[in-house]
Amino acid sequence: MKIRVLAIAISLVTALAAQAGDLKRLTLRQDLLGFEAVGRLDLGRGGFCTGVLIGPGLVLTAGHCLNRVNQGIVDIRDLRFRAGLRDGAAIAERGVKRAVVHPGYRIGGAVSAENVRHDVALLELDSPIASGIAASFRVDHLSANSKDVSVVSYAQGRAEALSRQARCNVVGKFQDLFAFDCDVTFGASGAPVFARVGDRSRIVSLISSGGNGDGGQVAFGMELPALVGDLKQALRSGRGVLMAHGVSRPALVTRRPATTAAPGAKFVRP
C-alpha cells in the first residue's frame, strides 16, 4: 500500500522500527489461548477483515469493512464472524443480526484524519459466544505514557490463522488518533491493538489503515471508549442500524474508502 505520512511520523517510525517484534503465527491451540475472541470477519465474495469480541454477542471492527468497493453497503446476511479461526477450524462461528457504523464516519468523502478517527463499527451476532468459549476483551484508554502495544490480526498472505505481534510501538499521537509501527496490511482492518492495563490486556485502538511507507511500517488507529459508547447507544436506539432487510434511520455507509494514512494529522512523539 502506498502510505502518505508527514515527515515527522516517518522519522519516528524509522527510528523505532527495529524495536518492533516479529509476527508469530498462532498455529497450535495452545498458541491461541487468551486470543480466542479475535476472529476473522468474512464479508462474502472472498473479502475479510479482523474483528474482536467486546461482549458475548458484540464484535468490534473497522467501519470501512462494512462497505464494498464500488458496491455500497454489505448485505449483513453475508457476514460471518469466525472466532479464533486457524487452518479452517474456528472456536465458534456466528452470523450477524445487526450492525452499525459510527455516525461520525464520513461517507463518500476523502480519506482524512476525521474518517480514521471514526472508522469503527459494532456488530450484533445472531447468537452470543459464551465467555467460556471465547472470553471477550474490555475497551480502555491508551494511557499517556504507554509506548508498547501489541496487535493480533488476520491479513493478506496470513488469512488462515491469527498472527500476533507481541510488541510494537506507539510512535505518534494527535488528539485522539494514534500512529503505530505495527506490521499490518489488507485484512488487518479492525484488528485490536492491545495494551496492558494492570495485569490484563485491554483493547485501546483498532487498526484503520496502514502498510509500508518510505520510513518503514506504519499503522493508524483511534481512541475507542467514547466511540464504543456511541455505537452501543445506536444499537439500542436503532438509528443507522444495518439489518438483513435494509438500513434503519438513516443509512450510514455507502462505499469503502481507499486504504491510506491519516493526512493532515500532525503526530507528535509520545
Checking if the pLDDT of 195 tops 90, the result is: yes
pLDDT digits (tens, 9 = 90+) for 224-239: 999 999 999 999 999 9
Please tell me what DSSP assigns to residue 107.
Answer: S
Distance between CA atoms of residues 35 and 136, nearest Å: 9
Distance between CA atoms of residues 21 and 169, nearest Å: 9
The confidence score (pLDDT) of residue 212 equals: 72
Cell reading at 177: 488518533
Please tell me what DSSP assigns to residue 105.
Answer: S
Q: What is the mean pLDDT of residues 19-37?
A: 91
Q: What angle is formed at CA 125 by the lines to CA 240 and CA 236, rounded to 5 degrees? A: 40
Q: How far is CA 200 from CA 5, 156, 159, 180, 195, in A?
A: 32, 29, 27, 21, 8
Q: What is the mean pLDDT of residues 147-154?
A: 96
Q: What is the 3 state secondary structure string of 3-47?
A: CCCCHHHHHHHHHHHHHCCCEEECCCHHHHCCCCCEEEEEEECCE
Checking if the pLDDT of 262 tops 70, the result is: no
| 252 vs 151, higher pLDDT | 151
- H-only helix segments in 86-166: 113-117
The confidence score (pLDDT) of residue 79 equals: 96
Q: Where are the domains of the chain?
A: 7-247
The confidence score (pLDDT) of residue 57 equals: 98
**Which CATH architecture best describes the domain 7-247?**
Beta Barrel (2.40)
Look over the chain and give the mean of its residue pLDDT values, rounded to a whole number: 84
pLDDT digits (tens, 9 = 90+) for 55-82: 999 999 999 999 865 556 788 999 999 9
Distance between CA atoms of residues 222 and 203, nearest Å: 11
Instruction: Enter the pTM of the model.
Output: 0.86
Q: Which pLDDT band holds residue 198 (cuts at 50, 70, 90)?
A: confident
124, 134, 119: which is closest to 58 by C-alpha? 124
Checking if the pLDDT of 251 tops 50, the result is: no
Host H or E run for residue 99: strand 92-101
Q: Which pLDDT band holds residue 46 (cuts at 50, 70, 90)?
A: confident
| Phi, psi angle pair for 229, to nearest 5° | -60, -40
Strand, coil or helix: 156: coil
- H-only helix segments in the chain: 7-16, 113-117, 225-237
Checking if the pLDDT of 170 tops 60, the result is: yes
